[in-house]
Every structure is written in C-alpha cells, then in structure tokens.
Chain A
Amino acid sequence: MTKGAGEFTVTCVACPVGCEVTVSDRGEVRGNRCDRGREYALLEHRDPRRILTSTVRTTCPDLPLLPVRTDRPIPKRLLFEAAKILATECISRPVKAGDVVVRDILGTGASAVATDDLF
C-alpha cells in the first residue's frame, strides 16, 4: 500500500485481527474490516490518548517503587512530560491500590493512582 503525503496509518487494536487502517488527508478511511476500526482510526488521528503506567519512588525499603497509572487516558503527546512529573515524585505515606498519588496531571484532569499497596 502506498502512502500519500498527509495520510495516517494505524493498527487497529479493537480486536485481534489488527487491521492496518489508513485515514487520508481528506478524512477518508480505508483498510478497516468493520466500523469499530473506522471509529478507532479517526479518534487516533484526531486525538490519540493513552493510559500512562509508570512508577514513583517511595521511602519504603521493601518497595522502593510504587506502580501507578493514570485513571483515564491522557493525550499521547503529553506522555513524556507526564512521565517526567511522576519521576520527581516520592511517596512516604501508606497508600492502597486505587489511592490518588498525583492529582490533575498537566491540567488533563487525570490523576495518577497507585496500582499496588504500600506499607
């Protein structure tokens, strides 16, 4: 498949078939085997978002890192910056899985929550 100048191609991950879906510069979608793929590719084109999973440091010797995730997907372009913010964080209090660790990252409204218990 040749790729035009302003075209955008993504592997649909909505099901295991994994179609290569292309959105042309005029917004036409091809390569999808079903509607879900169309939706997916258009969203990926317009506003790709991801859950960020990472770790924050802790003062607990048994668990030096606490795994965290954002409670909702954040814009893909903010992943690096968000990861940097988490890298500067250090937890010294007990938390339970699900507790908020960092609130409203970069104004996205998404919080980083613990995915494991600490202490």
Chain B
Amino acid sequence: MESAGRHTHADVVVIGGGPAGLAAAVAARRAGAGRVVIVERDVRLGGILPQCIHAGFGVKWFGEELTGPEYAGRFVKQAADAGAESMLETMVLEITRDLRVVAVSPRDGLVMVECGAIVLAMGCRERPRGALAIPGTRPAGIFTAGTAQRLVNIEGVVLGRRAVILGSGDVGLIMARRLTLEGVKVEAVVEIMSYAGGLARNIQQCLRDFDIPLYLGHTVSRVHGRDRLEGVSVAPVDDRRAPIPDKEWFIPCDTLLLSVGLIPENELSAACGIELDPATGGPIVTDEMETSVPGIFACGNVVHVHDLVDHVTEDGMVAGEAAAAAAAAALASASGAATAGAIAVTTAAAGAMAGAEGGARAKGGAGAGTRTTTMTGTGAGARPAHYSGRAGVPAGEGNGDGTSRISGTRTLGEIRPGSNVRYVVPQRFVQGGERGGGGRTLTISLRPSEPAENVVVEVSAAGKVLRRQRKEKVRPGEMLQVNIDRRTLPSGDGVVTVSIVSR
C-alpha cells in the first residue's frame, strides 16, 4: 500500500469529523499543533449531528439547548477558525502503530499520511438487526432507528403510517416523537429490560407527551407480512428474557424501528492492535485519552457510547490537547536525533487537503499552502519516542513490570469497575499527570449495570475510600461522573475501584 497514491504529513490526524473529532482538532490547534487534518468519510462535517434535528445539545457546554445541526455548526466554525484542515469524502482504511494513516477518496485515490499523533473519533454504529433473531418473515418496513432518522430528517422519506419501536434507547424515543408529529401513528415502544434505556427526559417528552405506550419487560416475538410488514407480535418476557407465548398479542403496523443499541466503531483500532475494553467496546484509554498504542488517542463514541454530546466534546478537547503534546514531543525527540537529517520543512501540497471543495457546505478552514514542519523519518524502527522528553510530566516512580502500563515511558495506575458498575472510562491514569480532566482533578465516567436508588458512588484504592458521592437515582441510560483529587490517588501502578453501593 505504501507506494501507491499521495503521500503527505501532518502533526495530528483526526479520524472522523463528528463532535469528538471537531473538538479534538480545535484543541490540538489551540495547543500549538502545526498541521491538523480531520479525515471524514462523509460529504460534510458534523458526524451524526446533522440528522439529530431535535433540541437537547449543548446544555452543559454552551448553557443553551441547541439542535444537532446548530451544535455541529458551532464546532465546524471553531475548527475552521482554529486553522484545522479537513479531507472530506475520505475513508480511512488503515492506521499503523508507527503512526501512518492510509485513506482513500474518490478524488485523490489512496492517500498516505505520516503523523506525529492520531486521534480516533469514528463514533459508533447501530447494532444490526441480524444480531437479533426475531422469528417470522423478513418483509420491507424494518429499519434501525438511526437509519430511519437519516431517511426522515435528511432525505425526506415517508416511512409508513403505523409504527412499532423495539428498544427504548434515545434514538428510538426521539424517532417516536418525530414520526408522531409527522402524522405516523406510533403504536408502542417495546423494551425487553424492566427499565427504559433512554434518558428520563426523553421518556417524558417523546412518549408521555404523546401518550405512546411503553411496554417494559416485553419484546417483539414475531414479525408478520410477506413483502411489506403487516404487523408484529408482542409478548412479555420471562426471567430468561424469553417471550411468554400465551400472553402474546398482535399489533398491526407497516414500520418497525430497531433501537437496540450502539457499538463503538473499532475495526481500525482492532486491526492496529489497540487494546479494547470488552465492557465498553472501545479502546482502553488513559486520562489523557491515549490508547495502548503510544501516540494514538481516542475520544467520543468510539471510546464508549455517550448519551450527551457535551461529554463527547470534553473528551475531544482532552484528546486533542494531549495529541498536540505528543506530536510536539515526537518532533522534538526526532530533531534531537536529527543527525541524519530526519527533519524536513515541507510545504503541504495545496488543494488536495483543503476539504472545502469536496462538495461540502462545511468549510475546512486554512488548508492550502500552510507551511508545516513535519517528520520524514518516522518509518519503520523510528517510532517517535513520545513523552520521554515532555516537560511538566514527570515519570512516575515504580517503573518496570505491571500489566497496567500501556504507554511506553510512564507509570500508569488502573481504574476498575466494582459492584454495580458496568464500566469506567478512563481505565488508566497517568501518575503525576495534571492535564487529563483538568489540573488536579481526575474525572471518571461510569455507567451502572442496574438501576438503583439512594446510592453512593464510591471510589477506593487499597482498602481506603477516596471519595463518596451520593446519588438519588442511577440508571444505565444515564452516564455518571465522579471527580477525584489526584493527590489522593495511589502511587505506582496502583488500582482504583469505582463501585455503586447502597446508602
């Protein structure tokens, strides 16, 4: 692959132009990275947001309730103003441990970019229907909720007249309201679990506002219809989540939406040998959002599925800033070893990287002709020695062994989920690190396994409780965050456990 196509350089390459990637690009530029390029396979920037036309974005970040396109618009502008470039309609095919990105676009063919750091921001995809074995026929009229959202909100397709939604995730709830207001009769939302998947706010404003029934502990037990969907059978489920046949009833409908979960998009990460967390489906990351491969960072839904975009933006900012530092460190260490002239100042080829022409309405910003200092010597064997020379980040004591060291030169502590915690992010923390999560504070995001009331989120290490935070209610559909003071963290490669316990 290496000889084919165009060859270029960038300090930071961001894969994916959704809110995570846009924030990372903004932060990387603000942190001083020279050439920052967003590679996006779609014709425009914004990720999933352009199809999320409802309001509910940015309450935390901007202090106002924006729609998806508005939220995306603000960050597309910030990225352009910050001088990030974009390559649209360009699909990344491969990333390598020595920090090369191989992509393909209809216009440029194969493109190979050597980088100082990579940020993964590929988002997630919907759990496909095939993964669910619903008995019955396979007629037309069955869609995943996100696909339905794109068809209705972007393309203006009329899906049908009567709909049933399987799964109570946010996408399905939002679509229940949207379809209802478009004149479709939404007969029911059917959820196999005993609790709703989406945000409480969406249950109220998308279902109860319109008297749409929500059947908890139920599932679609059969699909009917030959060419077009004619209806579904719905039944309550037993303890093993199997439908109880004699309680089944029939709901006539011509449309079935599946809102049964999202999976982080990590084919590229897995192929490059990045360590994934089975609980999140995303890369294991440090509090600086660095993956197990030095110089490759990750943020947003590719790390774990977020319910609020504001947190995606926060992650992206951390990842972008850290990636800029890693790229600078790589450059510095390469110039230290520049005996063989490994550094070259190149002028980025004009045009090809300036994404704004790609048929897109979003402008990629200062592209053409930017003078960028890039490394040319990052080939095999010359992997940039990240961090080793980075100022302000002292290497921790207690080096050596330990499974918890995922980044070459620093000691990492580990954060693990305890009782009633499905997962935690980050799963590692940098000893002595001050940046991730902001200065002295380390922010841990977590999701409960089961809903519970009157609980305490407890952070502990070596039998000592570091932090207790009371919560009235916790639900798997709502991500929690807990802040801890870094000075209380165990030294060396210690283990921190986060649990949800009753009060």
Contact residues of A with B, CB < 8 Å?
A: 10-11, 13, 16-18, 33, 50-55, 57, 62-65, 67, 69, 76, 79-80, 83, 87, 97, 115-117
Contacts of B201 in A (CB 8 A): 11, 13, 18
A65 and B156 form a contact (CB under 8 A): yes
Give the complex CA separation of A114 and B156 in angstroms: 16
Extra contacts besides A11-B204, A13-B205, A65-B154 (9): CB < 8 Å: A10-B208, A13-B201, A16-B478, A18-B201, A64-B154, A64-B155, A67-B53, A115-B67, A117-B73
Q: In the docked arrangement, what's the CA distance between A3 and B165, Å?
A: 28
Asked whether, in the complex, the Cβ of A33 is within 8 Å of the Cβ of B181, the reply is no
Q: Is B270 an interface residue (CB 8 A)?
A: no
Binary contact track B56-76/A, C-beta < 8 Å → 1, others 0: 000000000101011001000
- Asked if B182 and A67 make an inter-chain contact with CB atoms under 8 angstroms apart, the answer reads no
Task: Choose among A13, A62, A64, A97 the residue that contacts B200 (Cβ–Cβ < 8 A).
Answer: A13
Q: Which residues of A contact B181 (CB under 8 A)?
A: 52, 54, 79-80, 83
Check A65 against B73 for contact (C-beta < 8 Å): no
B209 touches A97 (CB 8 A): no
Q: A51-B65, A67-B67 are in contact. Are A17 and B473 (CB under 8 A)?
A: yes
Q: Which residue of chain B has the shortest Cβ distance to A83 in the bound complex?
A: B181
> Is B420 interfacial (CB 8 A cutoff)?
no
User: Do the beta carbons of B473 and A53 come within 8 Å of each other?
Assistant: no
Instruction: Find A55's partner among B65, B153, B203 (CB 8 Å cutoff).
Output: B153
Interchain CA distance A17-B471 in the complex, whole Å: 8
Write the B345-367 contact mask toward A (1 if CB under 8 angstroms, else 0).
Answer: 00000000000000101000000
Interface residue B55 (Cβ < 8 Å from any Cβ of A): yes
- The residue of chain B having its C-beta at the shortest distance from the C-beta of A16 within the complex is B478
Q: Contacts of A83 on B, CB cut-off 8 Å? A: 181-182
Q: Which residue of A lies closest to B74 (CB)?
A: A97
With A18-B473, A50-B209 in contact, do A11 and B73 touch (Cβ < 8 Å)?
A: no
Min C-beta distance of A81 to chain B, whole Å? 10
B17 proximal to A (CB < 8 A): no
Q: A55-B156, A97-B69 are in contact. Are A10 and B53 (CB under 8 A)?
A: no
Out of A33, A69, A76, which one reaches B209, CB within 8 Å? A76
Tell me the bound Cα distance from A10 to B200 in angstroms.
11
Contact between B69 and A67 (Cβ–Cβ < 8 Å)? yes
- Interface membership of chain B positions 200-223, coded 1 if the CB is closer than 8 angstroms to chain A and 0 otherwise: 110111001100000000000000
Q: Which residues of A contact B478 (CB under 8 A)?
A: 16
B1 CB to closest chain A CB (Å) equals 33
**B473 near A51: Cβ-Cβ < 8 Å:** no
Interface string of B35-58 (1 = CB under 8 A from A): 000000000000000100111000
Instruction: Give the chain A neighbours of B227 by CB distance below 8 A.
Output: none
Nearest-Cβ distance from residue A105 to partner chain B, whole angstroms: 14
Cβ-based interface call for B472 (8 A):
yes
B residues near A76, Cβ cutoff 8 Å: 209
Q: A13-B205, A79-B181 are in contact. Are A97 and B156 (CB under 8 A)?
A: no
A57 to B152, CA, bound (A): 12
A65 in contact with B67 (CB, 8 Å): no
Are B50 and A116 neighbours in the complex by a CB distance under 8 Å? yes
Are A11 and B153 in contact (CB-based, < 8 A)?
Answer: no
Closest B residue by C-beta to A98: B70
CB neighbours of A62 from chain B (8 A): 359, 361
When C-beta atoms are compared, the residue in chain A nearest to B181 turns out to be A83
Given contacts A18-B473, A55-B153, A64-B155, contact A116 B209 (CB under 8 A): no
Q: Are A53 and B70 in contact (CB under 8 A)?
A: no
Chain B residues with CB below 8 A from A97, complex form: 69-70, 73
Q: Considering the chains assembled together, what is the distance between the CA atoms of A97 and B66 in angstroms?
A: 12
- Considering residues B69, B182, B204, which has the most beta carbons from chain A within 10 angstroms of its beta carbon? B69
B53 touches A54 (CB 8 A): yes
CB-defined contacts of A115 to chain B, threshold 8 Å: 53, 67, 69-70, 73
A63 neighbours in B (Cβ, 8 Å)? 361
**A8 nearest CB across to chain B (Å):** 11
**A63 CA to B46 CA, complexed, in Å:** 15
A87 to B183 Cα, complex, angstroms: 10
Min CB gap A13→B, angstroms? 4
> What's the least CB distance linking A114 to chain B, in Å?
9
Which A residues touch B53, using CB under 8 A?
A: 53-55, 67, 69, 115
Are A69 and B472 closer than 8 Å at their CB atoms?
no
Task: Decide if A53 touches B67 in the complex (CB within 8 Å).
Answer: yes
Cβ contacts A to B, 10 pairs, < 8 Å: A11-B201, A16-B478, A18-B201, A18-B473, A33-B472, A51-B65, A64-B154, A67-B53, A80-B181, A115-B70
The one of B54, B73, B156, B209 that contacts A53, using a Cβ cutoff of 8 Å? B54
In the complex, chain A residues whose CB is within 8 Å of the CB of B155: 64-65
Name, among B53, B154, B203, B472, the residue most crowded by chain A CB atoms within 10 Å (CB to CB): B53
Q: How far is the CB of A62 from chain B (nearest CB, A)?
A: 8
* Residue in chain B with minimal CB distance to A54: B181
Asked whether A69 lies within 8 Å of B55 as measured between CB atoms, the reply is yes
A63 to B155, CA, bound (A): 8
